[in-house]
Amino acid sequence: GQQVMQIPQYQHVQEGEDFTTYCNSSTTLSNIQWYKQRPGGHPVFLIQLVKSGEVKKQKRLTFQFGEAKKNSSLHITATQTTDVGTYFCAGGGAGSYQLTFGKGTKLSVIP
Amino acid sequence: GAGVSQSPSNKVTEKGKDVELRCDPISGHTALYWYRQSLGQGLEFLIYFQGNSAPDKSGLPSDRFSAERTGGSVSTLTIQRTQQEDSAVYLCASSFLATNEKLFFGSGTQLSVL
């Protein structure tokens, strides 16, 4: 079955430093979604990428979908304490109802 | 409602007891999902509903787990004869359509089996 690997599992950064999390799928994806889960909260949708090589930006966040549609990354520029949380990628197969979630990257930001 | 509602928010039970977890999705959302999240872990898919039908139940960990959805709306996840390894946060999510749609998650039910 489809597997989605996400690295790193944990990342501690100094406030103002950049942060990147990577997601790799064992199969070609039709789309990839990113979610953020604040401590004690539930996952909240951030963005969906569907096109090969797609790049989307949300303020300090940059999302990329690989050319082969098997990998993705989330980059945060100049982290802030409000960025703390766990970032999950979730891959969807063509025509599939099921999203396969990665195990997430837990980001800690040191003020 | 405005969002996905889950109840109870916390449930403490004794090993061997049955529990029912409820999910009320966003009105008009046809797809409903149950996930399980153990402490510090990712999201484990349990079951998906399209309307009242569950095309795929293969994510349910054992036959002690069952789920139903009525009226294309509220869903109940039932765990029979709970075990300590069932302790986790059970998250429900809904989406407007079934495929490749963003998920709206509820706040989850924290289940603790003593």
CATH code where residue A21 lies: 2.60.40.10
Nearest Cα of chain B lies from the Cα of A8 at a distance, in angstroms, of 13
Q: How many domains does chain A have?
A: 1
Res. B1 pLDDT band, cuts 50 70 90: low
- Choose among B41, B48, B102: nearest Cβ to A98: B48
Range of the domain at A37: 4-110
Residue B97 CB burial class (10 angstroms; 0-12, 13-18, ≥19): exposed
- The CATH number for B46's domain is 2.60.40.10
Average pLDDT on B89-112 reads 91
- Average pLDDT over chain B reads 92
Cβ–Cβ below 8 Å for B42 and A100: no
Q: Which SS3 state, helix, strand or coil, does residue B86 take? A: helix
- Average pLDDT over chain A reads 94
Res. B58 pLDDT band, cuts 50 70 90: confident
Edge to edge, the sheet with strand A4-7 lists A4-7, A19-25, A71-76, A61-65, A55-58
Give the Cα separation of A28 and B64 in Å (integer): 34
Average pLDDT on A7-13 reads 97
Give the Cα separation of A106 and B72 in Å (integer): 35
| Residue B47 touches chain A, beta carbons under 8 Å | no
Give the Cα separation of B2 and B28 in Å (integer): 11
Range of the domain at B11: 5-113
8 A C-beta contact, residue A38 and residue A23: no
Nearest residue to B9 via CA among B83, B82, B111, B79: B111
Task: Quick: pLDDT tens for A71-99.
Answer: 999 999 999 999 999 999 999 887 777 78
| Residue B30 touches chain A, beta carbons under 8 Å | no
Cβ–Cβ below 8 Å for B56 and A101: no
Q: How many domains does chain B have?
A: 1
Give the Cα separation of A84 and A88 in Å (integer): 13
| Residue B43 touches chain A, beta carbons under 8 Å | yes
Residue B86's pLDDT is what? Answer: 97
Residue B15's pLDDT is what? Answer: 97
**What's the one-letter identity of residue B103?**
L
